A and B are shown apart, each in its own frame.
Chain A
Amino acid sequence: MTLSASLNGAEQRRPSRFGRMLENRLPYLIVAPAILILLLVGLFPLIYSLIVSFQRITMTENDTSFVGLLNYAELFRDTRLWASLGHTAVITAVALPLEFLIGFLMAQLFIDRLPGRQLFVALLVLPTVISPIVAGATWRLMFDVRFGPIGQILSFFAGEPVRILWTVNPAYVYPAIIICEVWQWSPFMFLLLLAALSNVDQSQLEAAEIDGASYLRVLRAVILPSIAPVVAVACLIRSLDLVRIFDIVWALTEGGPGSITETISLYTYVQGFSQFETSYTAAISFLVIALLTVITTLVLKRMELAR
């Protein structure tokens, strides 16, 4: 038998049925263990929490029987819960645009290749690497009415003592939280937007410049549409983080004075870990999951339409 004949024979010898099955399924089998672990770690707690939300587990009761929608009905009667969602919405609605604006302006400043740019970028990004609880505690000291530098600087410019109780006066608690939050997370926006702006098509910019378009026109017609997908993702990530905000608020005000800065995360923590309303806390968690899912879906759909 010639070599070619034997090769032809080999070509014509098809793999067995088992071999074909194995070949088709091999990629899935390889990733299966990792997927199973992810499901176990991610999905199991979710399903377990869902089950707990239909039970009645509190500090003193361990009733694991099905109680129907009792906890979910309680959600709608809980004014403190809805107040905390409102507080969270306020913080998100104010902080997110500010973070975007500051991040965008900073990115515009650094878009050109200036000497020392990398060093400055590294310094600007430092707030983001600090733990949020540390950031909150530090700003609490900065806002201190007797020893904090903020008060002293304001007093210097005002020419008289300025005594603002940032963490007690209702008029100033939200600005205090938002200042700390924006200070810490604008660099995150800055990084993403810097990368996005760096990839804007230079030829379009040059063409617009040649055509005599103003900066605002260029911004509206060329830059923003180019970076829109990155902006959408950045804003989505930050808004999800803002909805879950905890550390900064806890360090600054612990949800006070009273409950006026109590966010949904703080309230959930208090219900779950101070008051051991375990089943009710599970129900709150699913409410938050539902709200965030709606927001995320709407944003992603909007992105799809834009494309």
Chain B
Amino acid sequence: MKFKTFFGATALFVLTAASGSAADKDAADTAVEAAKKYAGTTISIVWEAGLQSLDPLNYSGPQWEKLTGIKVKVVEVPTDQMFTKIMQDFKSGAGAYDALNVIPSWMPDLARAGALEPLDKYVDKFGYRDELQDIAAAYRDNQMQYDGKIYGFPDDGDVMLLYYRKDIFEDPKMKEQFKAKFGYDLAPPKDWKQFDEIGQFITDKMAPKVYGAGFFRTAPYPQYMFQERFRTEGGKFFNADTMKATVNSDIGLKVFKGMLAENKFMPPGVEQWNFVDNLAAFLQGTTAMTISWPPYGRWAAGYGSGEEALKWVPKSQVAGKVGYALTPLGRPELGVGFDLSVSATSKNKEAAYLFIQWLNSKKTSLERVQLPYTLRDPFRLSHYASEKYRSLWPDATAYLDTIKTSGEKGLLDLSLLQQDKYDEAMTKAISSLWAGEDAKAILDRLAQQFDAITEKVGIENQKAVYKVWAAKPGAYPQ
């Protein structure tokens, strides 16, 4: 009896000590320890080509190899080819990729096709569920799962922010003249009417030195801006009962006309601007307002300007002069984003999983989102609260607070079966708009294309997916 009691107590003590040790080890350390048995192997990861891949090439890949002995081969792929490459690899069964970067709106298609490995068993095996709760709800609740299973870890807090020139908005003369003309204070626009008025006012006063605003207008990104504005103005993509597209409603027409009209107070040639053109214009002080993802804010502040990898970024002429705000109507599009996933055809699934757990963990991700050249934006509550991050430049606190609020109010990208077809249709529609085609005709054609895609996918199939998506808080403004 005494022996049994002693044995039981000892066992309990050992178990408590062991679980205590496990609790002390965070997800990053757990991943590293577990991955060491795969030392000597090489895993490949698909990553967006260009600046995005500087992270795994210069920081996380070498770091992982140092910690675990596993080599990381980064396969750089342009964004518009990532879906294609992932599906090609899966359909051919080649198994060339182990880990993946996946845009969340692709998840239904990739998961249904069987191209993504469900991660729940690994999450439980390596105790990652707790740290997943630190991911901001906008991303955690909407970009991680499909059909109740985890297929990816949100790894990029993409959300559109409005950047504006504080110095222009706070100039006493500009403020006085604006108030006299429009009857309200010159401040970040609350709606698109104010945006147009402010933009035109600044252009009238300061062009050609400074224009009121500039946006990227070339494929593939403007369609996210359309998605946001269409919904914040009250539009719905589909009739939920019939699945008929309703993008060609009066609201769609209003948005299209609004987008076209804005070009008039933007710099000449804005219709050809891509992400970099727009960035360059804002950093050089040519535009007073723009909307884009969080990296603009960091680079406008001059963060990382001495980095070799950022030599291509024009030197910011507006450091210290940039304010951050929610986009007009206060419901910004999350816009793209990236999840870390494991390929279903990988021959090194566990090793690949451990790498993405380590990458995505609280500890590692905080380092990664602070890299000067990173395009990965803060996406965890711990990122927003990080004292270290908040001290990176004078306005970093306001920057992080705005990103956090924007994420909380963010609108999800439309995510249906064969979403890339709907995206392509929207992209083509917007480029037709810049080309001068009649807005109503474009929207009617877009609606027809949406209907044709829905019919091909299967109306009932798509209806079920749309119902789930539309029920999410971030799908339509409440």
Contact = CB atoms under 8 A, between A and B. Distances in A.
B269 A146 contact: yes
A167 interface: yes
B219 A254 contact: yes
B428 A59 contact: no
B424 A270 contact: yes
Contact of A59 (B269, B418, B432, B436): B418
A140 to B, nearest CB: 9
A257 B269 contact: no
A270 B267 CA distance: 32
Contact of A165 (B91, B272, B420, B442): B272
B269 A273 contact: no
B424 A59 contact: no
A16 interface: no
A260 B436 CA distance: 12
B88 interface: yes
A170 B87 CA distance: 34
Given A275-B418, A275-B420, A170 B436 contact: yes
B58 interface: no
Contacts of B91: 276
A163 B270 CA distance: 11
Nearest to B220: A254
Interface in A254-296: 254, 256-260, 270, 273-276
B254 to A, nearest CB: 21
Contacts of A144: 269, 272
Nearest to B88: A273
Nearest to B85: A273
A165 B219 contact: no
Interface in A153-179: 163, 165, 167-170
Contacts of B257: none
B291 interface: no
B98 interface: no
Interface residues of A, number: 22
Contact of A274 (B271, B272, B420): B420
B428 A167 contact: no
A86 B447 CA distance: 24
A145 interface: yes
Contacts of B112: 60
A59 B112 CA distance: 10
Interface residues of B, number: 29
Interface of B, secondary structure class, is helix
Contact of A260 (B271, B429, B435): B435
A258 B429 contact: yes
A254 B430 CA distance: 14
A270 B220 CA distance: 14
Given A60-B112, A163-B268, A275 B421 contact: yes
A37 B433 CA distance: 51
A254 B424 CA distance: 12
B88 A257 contact: no
Contacts of A275: 418, 420-421, 424
Nearest to A146: B269
A261 to B, nearest CB: 10
B39 interface: no
B302 to A, nearest CB: 24
A170 B435 contact: yes
Interface string B430-463: 0110111100001000000000000000000000
B272 A59 contact: no
B339 interface: no
A59 B435 contact: no
A258 to B, nearest CB: 3
A59 B109 contact: yes
Give the one of A163, A167, A170, A275 with max B CB within 10 A.
Answer: A275
Interface string B391-432: 000000000000000000000000001101100100011011
A66 to B, nearest CB: 20
Interface in A16-62: 59-60
B113 A59 contact: yes
A165 B218 CA distance: 12
Contacts of B437: 170, 257-258
B269 A165 contact: yes
A274 B91 CA distance: 13
Contacts of B83: 274
Contacts of B436: 169-170
B434 A168 contact: yes
Contact of B269 (A60, A145, A170, A270): A145
A274 B420 CA distance: 8
Contacts of B271: 165, 168
A169 B269 contact: no
Contact of A60 (B109, B219, B268, B434): B109
Interface string A237-255: 0000000000000000010
Contacts of B429: 258
A36 B50 CA distance: 43
Nearest to A277: B456
8 contacts: A146-B267, A146-B268, A165-B434, A168-B434, A256-B428, A258-B428, A259-B428, A274-B424
Interface of B: 80, 83-84, 87-88, 91, 109, 112-113, 219, 267-269, 271-272, 417-418, 420-421, 424, 428-429, 431-432, 434-437, 442
Task: List 8 tightest A-B contacts by C-beta distance, closest first.
Answer: A258-B432, A257-B435, A145-B269, A257-B431, A256-B431, A168-B271, A273-B84, A170-B435
